[in-house]
Amino acid sequence: MSARLANKRIVLGVSGGIAAYKSADLIRRLRDAGAEVQVVMTAAAQSFITPLTLQALSGNPVHVDLLDPAAEAAMGHIELARWADLVLVAPASADCIARLANGVANDLLTTLWLATKAKLAVAPAMNQQMWAAPAMQTNLDVLRTRGVSVLGPAAGSQACGDVGEGRMLEAVQLAMACAEQFETGALTGRHVVITAGPTREALDPVRYISNHSSGKMGFAIAEACIEAGARVTLIAGPVHLPTPARVQRFNVVSADEMLIAAQSAAIDADVFVATAAVADYRPATVAEQKIKKSADVIALELIKNPDIVATIAAQTNRPFVVGFAAETENVVGHAREKLARKRLDMIACNDVARADIGFQSDENALTVIWSDGEQHLEKAGKSAIARQLVALLAVQLKKKEEQ
């Protein structure tokens, strides 16, 4: 469970009900598994458990007001909706489920629910007769048809004295169910090779040419591929990021080193994803000793580095090849040209001139292009973007194999 929840961003919505006490234990279990948790409480929920308690357990301020002037100055509810990988409402009362099913947006939780592209889940908690009511079952059917996961409920004795279905699942069961939300199986049995981060091209023993790539997008794609059931080899330039669970990682520095590692790993790969920001050029000569500061102007001769993604795409029995294009202008146009020139199967492009996405940011927005189609992935956390990209990749891979 911990591998699947590591680094996941979960918004926990707490609605009014005695089962709210279980939310405290759920937060602890999610955090123990490596997830980051933000809590949103309805007004009714605060009658059963205090925001201070859930703040202490989550390590984050608890969100309670839709029209909080401090948060809304930066469109707080929209930012929270974008931040989430999963929005889970637990407990989900009968009233809350009815409002979610009917698109009501009269508080922070229901507004966030409509504004997010994250995975959605509810953990019902109510009296057994309310659970059995036709109106309740109709509301749940509506949510299911929209892709919402309904977790539980369990059967047993209830706070009102009744016995039957309607009890919220226990915290450990819900934590496991959250982990299962990130397992897709779309790439089960596949070997995916990913390059990530920058390369460094030495000038002398202490200086180098590089770029601003953080590697975050490539690492997020590695996690998404693991969730999809793939075996993942990650070839990482010099970045300071932890290796995702179940990922085999090879560290490199220069473009030449990355090429050698990529060619070796791609021999039995089904998919090759080139997110690395490989330096286009390297110094023609590398000084053996530190270059001293002397002349006002020095000339630096650069030679072209190998094109790693094009090299892999040109191989016999090549894998399905996905390139990345980080551009500052004419983003889609340049990406389409690269798709054709390098004979790629798919390319994802983004505008790194934007300060709110791309290099160093935790968020991104991509346009994904293939031979006969394209899809725009709107701004979201890089983990969410990665899962959307992997889903598209899996579909296009299957189509290519069926041709």
Reduced 3-state DSSP string for 65-99: CCCCHHHHCCCHHHHHHHHCCEEEEEEECHHHHHH
Q: In what order do the strands lie in the sheet with 119-124?
A: 36-41, 9-14, 86-92, 119-124, 149-150
Spatial CA neighbour of 272 closest among 219, 323, 214, 326: 323
- pLDDT value of position 68: 63
Q: How far is CA 350 from CA 220, 332, 358, 383, 394, in A?
A: 16, 8, 7, 15, 20
> In whole angstroms, what is the distance from residue 402 CA to residue 36 CA?
40
- pLDDT value of position 20: 94
For 89-104, how does the pLDDT look when each residue is reduced to its tens digit (9 = 90+)? 999 999 999 999 999 9
Identical fold between 2-180 and 191-402: yes
For 174-194, how does the pLDDT look when each residue is reduced to its tens digit (9 = 90+)? 999 999 888 888 999 899 999
Residues sharing a CB contact under 8 Å with residue 402, sequence separation 6 or more, in sequence order = none
Q: How far is CA 123 from CA 127, 177, 255, in A?
A: 14, 10, 49
Pairing outcome for strands 208-209 and 201-202: antiparallel
Instruction: Name the 3-class secondary structure at 247.
Output: strand
DSSP secondary structure of 107-173 = SHHHHHHHH--SEEEEEE---HHHHH-HHHHHHHHHHHHTT-EE---EEEE-TTS-EEEEEPPPHHH
Beta partners for residue 124, in sequence order: 92
State how far Cα 341 lies from the chain centre. 29
**Considering the domain 191-402, what is its CATH architecture?**
3-Layer(aba) Sandwich (3.40)
> In whole angstroms, what is the distance from residue 195 CA to residue 206 CA?
25
Q: Report the chain's C-alpha Rg in angstroms.
A: 24
Residue from 160, 178, 225, 349 carrying the catalytic annotation:
160
Residue-wise over 187-223: b if at least 16 C-beta within 10 A, else e?
beebbbbbbbbbbbbebeeeebbebebbbbbbbbbbb
> In whole angstroms, what is the distance from residue 134 CA to residue 224 CA?
38
Residues sharing a CB contact under 8 Å with residue 224, sequence separation 6 or more, in sequence order = 383, 386, 387, 389, 390
Spatial CA neighbour of 64 closest among 41, 92, 39, 93: 41
For 256-279, how does the pLDDT look when each residue is reduced to its tens digit (9 = 90+)? 999 999 999 999 999 999 999 999
> In whole angstroms, what is the distance from residue 144 CA to residue 47 CA?
29
Tell me the domain boundaries of the chain: 2-180, 191-402
- pLDDT value of position 159: 66
Is 349 one of the catalytic residues?
no
Q: Which CATH superfamily is domain 2-180 in?
A: Flavin prenyltransferase-like (3.40.50.1950)
Residue ranges of the chain with per-residue pLDDT less than 50: 72-75
